[in-house]
Amino acid sequence: MITTEKLGRTYGDKVALTDLDLRVEPGEILGFLGPNGAGKSTTVKILTGMIRPTSGRAIVAGYDVVEEALEVKRRIGYVPETGALYESLTPVEYLEMVGCLHHLDGGTISARTHEFLELFDLQDVAHQQMSEFSKGMKQKVVISAALLPRPEVIFFDEPLNGLDAGAATIVKEIVRKLAAQGKTILFCSHILEVVERMCTRIVIIDQGKQLTSGTPAEIAAATNTTTLEDAFNKLTGVTDIERVASDFLSALERV
């Protein structure tokens, strides 16, 4: 479970997040949406213990993210928007390192590593340095590492970045099955069609503040729109897409 109460974060004079009240239940896939700079990444960094809030409180998997940060990290998986890997390692070496950090036994690490490499069709490069990998191949290893310890709470921040259509389909199905197993999932993506199909509930934030929450249908109805995309654009101030596109093309023609 994820719970926040009046969660806030400032960077000097800049307010990145204000009074966020959030609740994500076990078995739920919460779509966490907002334009660039809305406060999504700040929220995820607080919830994963990467930065401290300047106000409010956050509880993840039953533990306070500030007072019990290590207990939180033992119970979460995190797929960041830009995955950081030790590229001098092979996938097998990297996943073994992650497993050891989570105090898994060697047999468990080996079995789960084999499962992920087979699932993502990485068997042939299992012992190849990741510095030679494509973005999509690296993303598969990042996802495998996040799920290797079978965490209770999982944060997906643009998890489909770089993946081909087949791998993206696999990841989406994995997310659904994890929720069915009772895992708590926070899912951030700019691909609104994916969020609309996958998530059981959605929260939209902008300029560090929560604008609305509910199912896609509830949000569309509340904004007098017919799709999540139209509702998102209306809530975040992008109201005349056609005019913006036309102005952009006109500007190109003048150059």
Residues 32 and 120 in one domain: no
| pLDDT class of 82 with cuts at 50, 70, 90 | confident
Residue 252 lies in a domain: no
Neighbours of 172 (CB within 10 A): 17
Beta strands 14-24 and 184-188 are unpaired
Domain check: are 25 and 45 in the same one?
Answer: yes
Residue 236's φ and ψ, nearest 5 degrees, are -100, 10
Name the least confident of 69-73, 87-91, 97-101, 159-163.
159-163
Q: Is the pLDDT of residue 199 over 70?
A: yes
Residue 84: the pLDDT is 76
Do 144 and 102 belong together in one domain? yes
Domain of 196 in residue numbering reads as 1-75+151-219
Q: In angstroms, how far is CA 233 from the centroid of its own chain?
A: 21
Check which CATH number belongs to the domain holding 54 and give it.
3.40.50.300
Domain for residue 119, yes or no?
yes
| Domain count across the chain | 2
Q: Could you tell me if 120 and 159 lie in one domain?
A: no
DSSP structure string for 42-105: HHHHHHTTSS--SEEEEEETTEETTTTHHHHHHTEEEE-SS----TTS-HHHHHHHHHHHTT--
Tokens representing 225?
């729109």
Residue 143 has pLDDT above 80, yes or no: yes
E strand intervals along the chain: 2-11, 14-24, 29-33, 55-60, 63-64, 76-79, 153-157, 184-188, 201-206, 209-214
pTM check: above 0.85 = yes
Cross-strand partners of 200: none
Number of H helices, E strands in the chain: 10, 10
More confidently predicted of 39 and 252: 39
